[in-house]
Structure 1
């Protein structure tokens, strides 16, 4: 077995049509902060006080196309799960900052709800069992 890499930071980067706007969405949703990159095409969304070594990055690209899920020519390639104490409490907060509940909800009664961010990426609010 080989030695694993040792990482100092974990960043999940999302392609989007407007990096600043999507960065603001995730900062408001999570109570994190935006940090602009060296150019306007990249924004990091960072936990308070660089809390856990994780960040979400928003990368502006030309010709961005929204994933179509559960079926469509542009498949979902990834999504983010956010574990919360109560979906019923968290959902209105997510919607207030621009999230949209997806019409397809395979998690009803199973502890998760599917949403779209303003750029059309899927994310789930999951009921925490911890």
Structure 2
């Protein structure tokens, strides 16, 4: 019989938790979860799940699609308009790798300011 577990948090390693939380807050509209001491920040979803960001000394950003530093985590976000979402995310500091494995009309891979790859997908 499987355990009865409920997802409560997803936490990303990064060099600057406040900066990465600000990027995702502007991108998603999620509200801050906890006050930060600079080593941890988080954003809260309405269902109680939060996305956390924790400082890691010597952090090395993932190298995608190569695996010299594995991607570690991959988030996906549904959006109504891919072009609009991509433009806004790039404005906020996201990057766009040259390698795009999906049909560009359905999904795109971007990287957050700390280098984590994430997808935006047509809703």
* Aligned residue number for residue 24 of structure 1: 22
Match runs of 1:1-130 below 5 Å? 2-7=1-6, 10-37=8-35, 39-47=37-45, 51-109=46-104, 111-128=106-123
Does the 8 Å CA contact 2:11/2:52 hold for their aligned counterparts? yes
Deviation at 1:33, TM superposition (A): 2.1
Q: Give the TM-score normalised by structure 2.
A: 0.89
Does the 8 Å CA contact 2:33/2:50 hold for their aligned counterparts? no
Q: Which runs of 4+ in 1 moved over 3 A?
A: 35-39
Task: Give the number of equivalent residue pairs.
Answer: 123
Deviation at 1:38, TM superposition (A): 6.0
Deviation at 1:52, TM superposition (A): 2.2
Partners of 1:59 and 1:43 lie apart in 2 by: 7
Deviation at 1:10, TM superposition (A): 2.2
Does the 8 Å CA contact 2:110/2:119 hold for their aligned counterparts? yes
Q: Give the TM-score normalised by structure 1.
A: 0.85
Deviation by residue 1:83-118 (Cα, 9 ceiling, x = unmatched): 111211211111121111121111134611000100
